[in-house]
Chain A
């Protein structure tokens, strides 16, 4: 029973990370029917930029290691802001280089261009930080909280809380605010949105900034768990993409649900046979998509003849 609870707790913690990144796919897909296939590479500066600033502030080289004492909550929040701002700004570059030339053109060119952008960014990071991982202490300490025998780290709880908060925030922003309405208008019909005076390009750029900023946020949030490194992104981003698709790329709640679902299934299958985790997950995804091609909570699109 403890093992089951532990798996559930670990799975939810993992799923929150997937869900958080999946939200980044949701917002740009909703506006442009494209998203950043190289999102994994965006976690890299997310984890490294903020941490390096703290390191420099502590008088250490940018690739050193922080001590627990140097990682106060204030420092962590500042690092998070720095990561979110920097990676969000990279999102603008992403839009102009990799999305704008291809958006609306159909085809797969944007997939390759965003992958290309990601490769360049990851290797820039490799040149700056090298291949080694940087251990990052959690601002909440390294103690383990125990709930009915199952251990969970405060950082994992923090991630889950932030992820759900971001999801709820996005949901509200999309449905209640002017920006949200403009965003949905652009998603529905860009030409019509332009006619009623919405600056379509600004909206789309904002969507990419938010998406990238979310990747930056995810990067610094998971750093205390995974370490900050050039190689943290790829595996996680692929799972996050899977979460978005299986939950429903068009729905923030679906993305979050997909994330939790994937995390929990992964941990539970681990109780049975760890090596079967990926195989089970991806077979499951294929089956779900055959039954519901637009994901569990995605809007079904009907082609008009």
Chain B
């Protein structure tokens, strides 16, 4: 029996489906809005595994306490084909850098398998009429009442362009990351961040936007960047560019003496095995200075000196991916790779119950900021999505049950917002300014990728914001080039583009303000982490001129911050916080050493 409570969920990836399932299970109704059929959400791309929360004992009665058992047991019972032990139980593995985490996985497509399990469960609830799916609908805006309380949302049917108001007792945002702001990224084409940007423009706080994770080795494509496992470097891959800029010869025709193995030259002790973040920065910098292969943003990752049989045995699956999308066989032709924008640690500000600052609005998954701080560890994204969904669901139910509101309050609210959105559509359709929206998107992607990813300089960040303002102005002059409005992609894209530009400014100005280096945010002019001034969460609030920034202290009562230190025994430094233990300042070299081995940070899993 339904209780009459209705909760709208925007996004049908892991977080959205996890929340939908929990709400349906509790007897309430869900409207599930997704731009694509939910089974096709970006969560399918996660290949690595799912880490469990551990050491949660003693942290008080937090929702995280039983997460391990709930998540693993739950997915196991849903029928996810996890790898098994001899006895037929779930098999767990450990990965480098995650000594205390257990990683379960299903083949090389854990994200896909987890998403499918939730998709199946939600389909079951769909049959029971608890969940109504609106697939092929895109959220445009929230419906807020006079008290800035969320009462539902407006979404657009992507075939008919019909606008519809969804009344809801609470709304959960689960729309994933904003990778498309950078033009090409490892994200799916649906990952625009558009709906989250709409929330931000209506008063939702956006936190830590400047923390954008860049994966060191992705395969540059004209359409997107595809992930290449770091294990290629681990197995002996050598990174190089031709010494002569723009050398057009085939890589095999370039003799050893005319190749620049820049990692080996700059870091003789560790060469190509420098840790992730350093590899990322160096590759990026080399290309930024014009040394990239063919003058483009790419360097060679060369495995051809290793016998083909060895490569097939050790790296077969990942080399197949490269061959499938590039056409070259990496056993004989050096791969071309470049760092790729991969994950946003920032997102909608939420509290421990996944509540945003707008009453009635919740967020979960990559679109919320709360889990990964300034950088994310491998195999943590899946668990954070499921966790966020599992917490947001009861939190939204609790809110919906207890909120008091009068009947007449919503008079005209939905119609007014529908009208506002219809006007925006009309404006976009009738504009005749001559700007091409896809070219604008490319321009934005380029300026963001060049200046607001791996290496950040204040003058360039400032110039980027100026450029974004210019693009924003030109965005108002787009002539959509589609006279057929049936299932047109031009109108939704023009709207997404505007919204992306708003978040692009949040990311850029957040990075400009943060004069330190922390996690994925690196400024050569401010290379150290500065806890005294910057152990803070960035909060951006929308205003028409520019985002307004404020900073919130980070709660460090449970784990005291310490220096990222790979020079000490790992167990000691990672296991327990060492309050008061002042670590000596260290050079980079020291950070790479771990018991005489190469650094295993992040391991070789892909996700």
A and B: bona fide binding partners = no
